[in-house]
């Protein structure tokens, strides 16, 4: 019996709790591979993985690349500037071309919500969503959940705060969907423009005062905050954001000693998180990066390499 029969991972919203647990358990088995001196298993030998990034990304692409190499897959990277999407070819046509090259796995980063699902429905290749607009970033969600589960041994009943620009965040959505399925209590924190009360319909709590949630939080996951063109009308500026929502040293002192401080990166030191707090002992930001490889190995293996744990 296997808990995993999907060829694609397009989001955590459509997964069952059992499927998420299966990926997390598989990731735990793979994590050991990275700690060996010979960091490679033959699980995906002979398979071709295309990192198809229509939106810039360095860390996610690199993480997938390392994960694929540790599974012995061959990796090709295609970025937006190099791709013919710039020449007016449609996403569907470009992807059909990748399939014609016998790409077994396509890892897609794209600015349009639903773009991974769009390809998954049309191609035989496995499609792994590496971020589709503001919709989902399922491997980031999984690695965050993996990191929490590794520290606490469970997810159920934990108080998890996600702080920042929730409205435009695919990381937040994948975390919300995954954490709720596993029984966590999720609180979204941020300005009312970026964390509208309507989010409560998804089954979370919404707070506009970070000081209210510090004492009870088991995890504080801080999202990168930006104040660029399309955010100008959402809040007055970074200074006011730091004053209201930044995880300053003073605020960090009110956290439980066991509380984890997380961030999907890249961090803005002195904005959403104080520099010393980012480097402090409660911070697991770099462990998240390490765990990301194991989680992505598990996802690639589950979708393209068959089910079951590696021996």
Partner 1 sequence: MKITRIANGRVIDPANQRDEVADLWLADGKIIAPQPGTETETIDAANIVVAPGLIDIHVHLREPGQSHKETIASGTRAAAAGGFTSVVVMPNTSPTADSAATITWIKEKAANSACVNVFTTGAITKGLKGEELAPYGSLFNAGVVALTDDGRCVQNHEVMRRAVEYARMFGLTVMDHCQDYSLVGDGIMHEGEWSLRLGLPGWPRAGEEMIVARNILLAELLDSPIHCQHISSGGSVRLIREARARGVKISGEVCPHHIALTDAELAAFDSNFKMNPPLRALEDIEAIIEGIADGTLTILCSDHAPHAAYEKEVEIDHAPFGITGLETQFATFHDILVHKRRAIDLPRLIALYTSEPAKLLKLDRGTLSPGAPADITLIDPNLDWTFDKNASLSISKNTPFHGHTWRGRAVRTMVSGETVWSLS
Task: Name the site residues for partner 1 (rule: CB under 8 A).
Answer: 13, 90-92, 110-115, 117-118, 132-136, 167-168, 170, 173, 196, 198-199, 201-202
**DSSP secondary structure of 244-256:** HH-B-HHHHTTS-
197/209 with CB nearer partner 1: 197
CB of 277 to partner 1, least distance (A): 29
Phi first, then psi: what are they for 157, rounded to 5°? 85, -10
- By C-alpha distance, which of 211, 209, 219 is closest to 175? 219
Nearer to partner 1, 13 or 150 (CB): 13
**Of residues 27 and 134, the one with the C-beta less far from partner 1:** 134
Shortest approach of partner 1 to residue 298 CB, angstroms?
24
Smallest gap from residue 212 Cβ to partner 1 (A): 22
Of 47 and 117, nearer to partner 1 (C-beta) is 117
Contact 83, 53 (CB under 8 A): no
Strand partners, 110: 132
Tokens representing 103 are 């790409």
Helix axis angle, 59-70 to 285-304, nearest 10°: 50
Contact criterion met (CB below 8 Å) for 95 and 117: no
Helix (H, G, I), strand (E, B) or coil at 156: coil
Alpha carbons 255 and 219: distance in angstroms, whole number: 9
Q: How far is the CB of 294 from partner 1 (least distance, A)?
A: 26
The smaller minimum CB distance to partner 1, of residues 169 and 283, is found at: 169
Q: Which is nearer to partner 1, 31 or 170 (CB)?
A: 170
Provide the 10 A C-beta neighbour count for residue 24. Answer: 21
CB of 134 to partner 1, least distance (A): 3
In the complex, what is the shortest distance from the CB of residue 295 to partner 1, in angstroms, rounded to a whole number?
Answer: 21
Is the CA virtual torsion 304, 73, 294, 115 positive or negative?
Answer: negative
């Amino acid at each position: 019996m296997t808990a995993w029969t999907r060829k694609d991972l397009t989001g955590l919203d459509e997964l069952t709790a059992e499927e998420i647990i299966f990926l997390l358990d598989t990731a735990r088995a793979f994590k050991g591979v990275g700690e060996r001196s010979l960091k490679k298993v033959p699980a995906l030998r002979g398979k071709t993985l295309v990192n198809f990034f229509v939106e810039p990304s360095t860390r996610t692409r690199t993480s997938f690349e390392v994960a694929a190499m540790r599974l012995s897959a061959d990796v090709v990277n295609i970025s937006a500037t190099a791709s013919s999407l710039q020449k007016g070819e449609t996403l569907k046509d470009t992807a059909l071309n990748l399939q014609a090259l016998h790409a077994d796995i396509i890892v897609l980063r794209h600015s349009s919500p639903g773009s991974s699902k769009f390809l998954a429905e049309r191609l035989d290749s496995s499609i792994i969503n590496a971020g589709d607009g503001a919709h989902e970033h399922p491997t980031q969600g999984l690695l965050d959940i993996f990191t929490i589960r590794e520290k606490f041994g469970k997810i159920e009943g934990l108080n998890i705060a996600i702080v920042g620009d929730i409205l435009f965040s695919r990381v937040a959505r994948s975390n919300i969907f995954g954490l709720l399925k596993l029984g966590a209590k999720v609180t979204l924190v941020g300005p009312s423009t970026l964390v509208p009360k309507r989010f409560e319909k998804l089954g979370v709590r919404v707070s506009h005062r970070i000081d209210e949630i510090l004492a009870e939080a088991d995890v504080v996951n801080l999202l990168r905050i930006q104040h660029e063109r399309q955010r100008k009308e959402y809040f007055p500026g970074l200074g006011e954001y730091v004053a209201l929502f930044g995880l300053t040293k003073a605020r960090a002192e009110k956290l439980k000693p066991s509380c984890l401080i997380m961030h999907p990166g890249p961090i803005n030191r002195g904005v959403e998180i104080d520099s010393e707090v980012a480097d402090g002992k409660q911070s697991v930001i770099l462990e998240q990066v390490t765990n990301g490889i194991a989680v992505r190995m598990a996802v690639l293996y589950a979708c393209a390499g068959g089910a079951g744990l590696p021996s």
